[in-house]
Structure 1
Amino acid sequence: MRFFSLLLLAGSLAAMPVHAADAQNWLSRLLKAERQQSFQGIFVYERNGSFSTHAIWHQAGQNGESRERLLRLDGAPVEVVRVDGRLQCGSSILADQLIEGAGPWPPRPLEPQRLAEWYEIRMVGESRVAGRAAVVLTILPRDQYRYGFELHLDNETALPLKSLLLNEKGLLLERLQFTQLDTSTPLTKDKLEPGPTCRPVEILQAASPRQGAWRSEWLPPGFALRSMHTQPSPVSGETITYLMYGDGLARFSVFIEPLHSPLVEDARSQLGPTVAVSKRMSTADGDMMVTVIGEVPLGTAERIALSMRASEEQADR
């Protein structure tokens, strides 16, 4: 789940000389807890100096299935219910339709052995969060193309009690921190059922484009294409190509849509850890807008956008 993937680097921790295998063992325990541990609690989310408080109920089944409900407790009500990682309903401010498999907070695989190629994983100390003892892991990028992570894992269950995300300058981009966590009280059915404002979400059946219809001539080391779909734009009706890339921890998406207006210009923005970079591209089929969105540094997203190319087959049509 996305919450368990918001881990990050902090520069003020006192390092402890612990073997890297111990840190990888904790990541493996985290993966197991994510599949098998039920819990409920309250956490605080911080981004761009803005805070919000959320309740979460997570029920894990014996065969890896799960049901989860999240509810924002302050500001405009926001509610999400997911079953086995798929969005079932969302509050009215969420999109009514989503590409299949591309909804908010889709699960991402954590592969400790593979991550070690692109991140340095360390145990750096101990902490106490929400009244529970925790160990502190840092996951430090080995290059400038991705962010690092810090994760405070519960001693008893290995669930993440606190996560921080900082940019390359050490500035905080995102924080999630439990203030209450209960792993022993059984979850009641009413806590997992959606409220009246949680509207069913229609998952669009996305089509598969021709193999290799679009490609990136440059990717950060370790990133690979995880999925590719096409679907009609709900605004223009034009076909949008959607590609998702990941390194096992970080990820970004690329959207490619035909353009018919000379007034649309390149753009770039960042909200907390999420960047969006749009670049106009000329192809044999006309102008396209390439947009990269993800939790990667702005320079990484810009380089990826500039590297996108149509296949030779598509360019020759």
Structure 2
Amino acid sequence: MKSTLHFLLLVYLALIPYAWAGDQGIDLLKKMNHAVNSVNYDGIFLHIDGKHIHTLRVIHKIKNGTVRERLYSLNGVPREVIRDPEKVWCILPEKKMGHAGLRPDKKTGFPGFMVKNLAELANNYIISTEGVDRIADRAVNRMQILPRDGLRYGYELWADQDTGLLLKSALIDNAGDVIEQYMFTLIKIGGDIPDSALLPRMNKNTLEWHNSKKPPVNMPVKDSKWQFSVLPKGYRLVNIIQQSIPMESKQIEHMILSDGLAGVSVFIEKTSNPTPEIGFVQMGAVHSYTRVIDDYLITTIGEVPAVAVKVIGDALIRKH
């Protein structure tokens, strides 16, 4: 169960950005959305999650309209993520193993803060600009996005004044406390990046790959045997994917929900385990909630408050 949950978390994180009213705030969000798929950069950033501090480097290149990227850890356990035009490669060098999956969006990368629906954002969040600041020795504009209810987190964002690139983001809980943040400490924006800089340290052919046996495919909503009785205000179903778990033949159904900013995934898998592990698990800012319906295991995962994953998970029902 734990290995399956880790895989589901990996899938969830691969589909969402790494992060985290008024015309001025909306214009800044548009500029941030544009920067991640139009600007080359090479930088070092901190990921602060509770008591844990991780230092990572990201090399980000735009080529033929597609984001290509290499992200790797500089402290702790070595890890690498490579985004090429077709796939996302997750590599653990010490274990000489990795996982590769099809890339859902070729125009996103780190640091992404892709708002799906700017027009509806103000229905669920209060957006305000908060003046200027300095991050990684660059002038930035600061903004705040606070939720209108307890079913989503808030954000503080610091965007580069020249390019709009997001240089710092903080995830804020309902008490106003920072629960996770990313911040660049050194960054070079612009200039040419050689293709060789995007290659992993280890030859891919020397690794043991734990990949899904079948590629994921989109499923029409009408073909699913599942539906939601009611969803929290602002959340809606945006996609359904069928995919397999690495090294296993069974298929799982993956429902993707969003309020335009926060994302939640619901995974549905057939189980023969008479006593599966159910309940809540917290992994940093991400909460997961598992329940059983008949002989199906339902796992809801999101970078949202625990109450939100429970409400969404409990709303899933079988179609009659």
Give yes or no for TM over 0.5: yes
Paired residue for 1:303?
Answer: 311
Q: Which runs of 5 or more structure 2 residues have no equivalent in the other structure?
A: 1-13
> Any residues of structure 2 matched to 1:74-153 within 5 Å, and which?
74-84=75-85, 86-88=87-89, 90-91=91-92, 96=99, 98=101, 101=104, 109-110=114-115, 111-153=117-159
2:263 corresponds to which of 251, 256, 277: 251
Q: Does 1:193 align with 2:199?
A: yes
CA contact (8 A) 1:100 1:206 kept: no
Indicate whether 1:67 and 2:68 are aligned: yes
Query: Do residues 214 (structure 1) and 214 (structure 2) align?
Result: no
Distance (whole Å) between structure 2 residues aligned to residue 42 and residue 75 of structure 1: 15
Cα distance 1:49–1:193, how it changes in 2: closer, same or farther (>3 A)?
same
CA contact (8 A) 2:86 2:102 kept: no
Q: 1:202 to 1:257 in 2, by over 3 A?
A: closer
What's the counterpart of residue 166 of structure 1?
172
2:17/2:113 contact within 8 Å kept = no
Q: CA deviation at 1:258?
A: 2.0
Which residue, out of 274, 278, 281, partners 2:293? 281
Show the 5 A alignment for 1:266-277. 266-277=278-289
Instruction: State the SS of the aligned residue for 1:36.
Output: coil
How far 1:220 moved relative to its partner? 2.1
More divergent stretch after superposition (139-148 vs 100-109): 100-109
Return closer, same or farther for 1:79/1:279 CA change in 2, 3 Å cut-off.
same
Q: What CA distance in whole angstroms lies between the structure 2 residues aligned with 1:174 and 1:307? A: 28
Identity %: 27
Considering only CA atoms, is the larger Rg found in Structure 1 or Structure 2?
A: 1
SS at match of 1:96: strand
Q: What's the Cα RMSD here? A: 2.9
Contact 2:268–2:296 (CA<8 Å) still a contact in 1?
yes
Cα shift at 1:304:
1.2
Q: Deviations over 1:239-271 (max 9, x none)?
A: 322111112211011111223233224221112
> In structure 2, which of residues 19, 24, 33 is the aligned counterpart of residue 6 of structure 1?
19
Q: Hey, what's the Cα distance between the residues in 1 that align with 2:145 and 2:272? A: 44
Tell me, which stretches of 5 or more residues in structure 1 are unaligned?
8-18, 313-317
Whole-angstrom distance in 2 between the partners of 1:40 and 1:113: 32
**In structure 2, distance between residues paired with 1:21 and 1:98:** 38
Q: For the structure 1 residues 261 and 190, does the alpha-carbon distance in structure 2 shift closer, same or farther, using more than 3 Å as the test?
A: closer
Matched, 1:261 2:236: no
CA distance in 1 between counterparts of 2:162 and 2:102 reads: 37
Compared with structure 1, are the counterparts of its residues 102 and 262 closer, same or farther at alpha carbon in structure 2 (3 Å cutoff)? Answer: farther
Superimposed CA distance per residue, residues 135-190 of structure 1 (whole angstroms, 9 cap, x where no aligned partner)? 11111111211111110011111111111012112232211000001113421232
Residue 223 of structure 1 corresponds to 235
Residue 290, structure 1, aligned to residue 298, structure 2? yes
Residue by residue, what CA displacement relative to the aligned partner does 1:77-124 show, whole Å, maximum 9, x if unpaired? 111110248414533567625477399979784232232222111101
Secondary structure of 2:37 counterpart: helix
TM-score (norm 2): 0.82
How big is each residue's C-alpha offset from its partner over 1:46-103, in whole Å with a ceiling of 9 and x where there is no partner?
1121011011111123x53111110111111111110248414533567625477399
Q: 2 CA distance for matches of 1:214 and 1:102? A: 25
Q: Shift of the alpha carbon at 1:234? A: 4.5
CA distance in 2 between partners of 1:165 and 1:240 (Å): 30
Name the CA shift for 1:270/1:85 in 2 (closer, same or farther; >3 Å): farther
In the other structure, the counterpart of 1:34 is 36
